[in-house]
Amino acid sequence: MTNGVEGAVVYMDNNATTRVAPEVVVAMQPYYSELYGNPSSMHTFGDKAGKAIVNARQQIASLLGAYPEEIIFTSCGTESDSTAILSALQSYPEKRHIVTTRVEHPAVKNLCEGMDKLTGHKHRLTQLPVSRDGMIDLAQYEASLDADTAIVSVMWANNETGVIFPVEEMAQIAKSRGILFHTDAVQAVGKIPINLSKTPIDFLSVSGHKLHAPKGIGVLYVRKGTPFVPFMIGGHQEKGRRGGTENVASIIALGLACELAQFNMDEENTRVRAMRDRLEKGLLELIPSSMLNGHQTERLPNTLNISFEYVEGEAILLHLDRFGICASSGSACTSGSLEPSHVLRAMGVPFTAAHGSIRFSLSIYNTEEEIDFILDKLPPVIDNLRSMSPFWESEHKGRVGRSGIHCGCNS
Amino acid sequence: MWDYTDKVKDHFLNPRNVGEIEKPDGVGEVGSLACGDALKLMLQVDDHGKIIDAKFKTFGCASAIASSSALTEMVKGLTLDEAAKITNEDIADYLGGLPKEKMHCSVMGREALEAAIANYRGVTLPMAEGEVVCECFGVTDLEIRRAVQESNLRTVEEVTNFTKAGGGCGNCHDRILELILETRKGTRIEEAAVQKPKRLTNIQKIKLIEDVLEREIRPALKKDGGDIELIDVDGDFVLVSLRGACVSCAASQTTLKEYVEKKLREQVLDTLIVEEEKS
């Protein structure tokens, strides 16, 4: 791999995972060495770890506008999602309707789609469609709710496009109907302001590695007074709401990462957003037949999902990788599936573009030089691949037809 | 990230014979934008039926581009009859193997070659006349039957890897399974498969494994400067050690699983699991 700017990797895949902040790495270390005690132990040594967890819980609550006792530590965002949704269904066993969207992360999508098999009970699942720019229709959402609805689970921001859903408004609507509301806020936390004291959201999922903490630590926020059934049964940890010895070092790391995120929120929404916008404008201007996927304004400040028609995403990524540029794609070939991203398909992105989608997701560690570097390297890559594509010259001709069979390219 | 061989990477990054022949004698076009990959193959044929030039244009991933590039290199200089014998396995082997999920890229190459030869000869390919089984990817029963037969496929997942059929909505899975059973029924392979599992003693098992290694696997690996040694057999676990060029080869795990394990399962016991001894 050829290295990017000044020999360093140009990492623009922060919606996949983030670098652990250097300050966070330092803060974690004592809990692997001199402060390795178990927070549940009845001695001062273990209590030092316990007190550090109390502080971390406060730091996380502060970022979310929540009370510390509303914070439950989990292993990841996926566990938080499962805990919230399964808890709601067990709290109201007479209700069998789940409302979610067609563009959820697999942690919610696959759980809800497989709920009947998992629980042995029949459920009704409503997966709300989205518009061409990835947005939900609130009227359609409201109409989908009924007396049988046990839980609404809607992501705060989409991991692929960055589109921000109006979850506060959606939670309000659910609340007025007496329905529990969960949001997978894994991509939103730390990037946009969140104040849970001002919304009736019942459950919210956080993942540490998306905001410069390590992998393997997550949070489930549970509003005070919300009925709750634990998912991980074990000891008395987390007040009996989540068994298992606490991942002390990672909890301390997440606490500090949340404090740093609060401190960096302005930069995320100004400097990072400006870099993202410059990258977006530059690529759309430099590369013909390219298009933005996702809402122009209601979008995370760090995320750009862009399609280059008539070329394939994996091929683009491998060429970028040679330059040390890390990004991701919604193409079929990168996922191991045979179909492009379910998010782009739900948005109605045509096949000409869906297979050639690239996601750049920035962080505060990115620089203007890196934006220049991508703007310099990517256009020739697209040109090269298009010169190889049978569709490029005969643009919009549609298909070459596998053995004469109609493939429904434009469907 | 896919575990691509150096040869796949080379053909992807430096594809040979990209472009078009001004007045091609045969053109084969397969795939579509919807399917995520497509190949247009053009052949120039002399008066003796020899392919004197081949060019391609491909929309697709690294495997699709590499398979197309490899194919053009393979066919140049062959007669049409010789080229017609090229299988998708030949294309994959030429590249030092492909991840199993990417085998359909080599199948696309073979289909394009068949289409180009048929186009040159002015005949229609029978594959298009079958019943469309997979609506998502437009795959016919004839294509599925052929893949099952030629590549000894046993599961829906394997059929998907080779033909894409069943890789979309999944509604055709039952029909694919029917086709697998129908195609394998009565074949030598199926007769062997329906027999009760062999009850082999450990000594018999080791002897059979050693026999397949000596007769088939080691000679193939030695061609590329590699080698393999049997270390131990523990139940279904076959512990081996790679030697020579295989030690530093990036695709060694693919070789172990997709070639060595597959061969041993075919010829010794279909429950065997090959693992590399970690020093």
* Per-residue pLDDT reduced to its tens digit, A33-90: 999 999 999 999 999 999 999 999 999 999 999 999 999 999 999 999 999 999 999 9
Measured CA angle at B268 (ends B267, B272), to 5 deg: 115
Contact: A401, B29; criterion CB under 8 Å: yes
CB-based contact (8 Å) between B8 and chain A? Answer: no
Using a CB-CB cut-off of 8 Å, the residues of chain B touching A331 are: 36, 61
> For position B126, what pLDDT does the model report?
66
Task: Name the catalytic one among B61, B105, B172, B249.
Answer: B105
Q: What distance in Å separates the CA atoms of residue B88 and residue B164, rounded to the nearest whole number?
A: 14
> For position A336, what pLDDT does the model report?
54
> For position B84, what pLDDT does the model report?
92
Edge-to-edge order in the sheet of strand B273-276:
B226-234, B237-244, B273-276
CB-based contact (8 Å) between B140 and chain A? Answer: yes
> For position A386, what pLDDT does the model report?
95
Contact: B128, A408; criterion CB under 8 Å: no
Name the nearest CA neighbour of B110 among B78, B75, B161.
B75
Contact: A388, B18; criterion CB under 8 Å: yes
Helix (H), strand (E), coil (C) string for A231-261: CCCCCCHHHHCCCCCCCHHHHHHHHHHHHHH
CB-based contact (8 Å) between B250 and chain A? Answer: no
Residue B23 contacts by C-beta under 8 Å, 6 or more apart in sequence? Answer: none
List B residues 9-28 in contact with A (Cβ-Cβ < 8 A). 12-13, 15, 18
Give the count of Cβ contacts less than 8 A between chain A and B: 119
Mind telling me how many Å the CA of A401 is from chain B's nearest CA?
Answer: 6
Give every residue of chain A whose pLDDT is below 50, as ranges.
1-2, 396-411
> For position A337, what pLDDT does the model report?
60
> For position A405, what pLDDT does the model report?
28
> For position A331, what pLDDT does the model report?
63
CB-based contact (8 Å) between A43 and chain B? Answer: no
> For position A394, what pLDDT does the model report?
59
Contact: B132, A405; criterion CB under 8 Å: yes
> For position A399, what pLDDT does the model report?
34
Tell which phi-psi region holds residue B95, choosing left (phi > 0), alpha (psi between -120 and 50) or beta.
Answer: alpha
Q: What distance in Å separates the CA atoms of residue B197 and residue B207, rounded to the nearest whole number?
A: 17
CB-based contact (8 Å) between B132 and chain A? Answer: yes
Residue A9 contacts by C-beta under 8 Å, 6 or more apart in sequence? Answer: A3, A324, A325, A326
Looking up tokens 């109605």 gives A348
Q: CB–CB of A98/A112 below 8 Å?
A: yes
Of the partner residues A319, A333, A408, the one whose CB lies closest to the CB of residue B36: A333
Give every residue of chain B whose pLDDT is below 70, as ranges.
126-128, 186-198, 278-279
Catalytic status, residue A333: yes
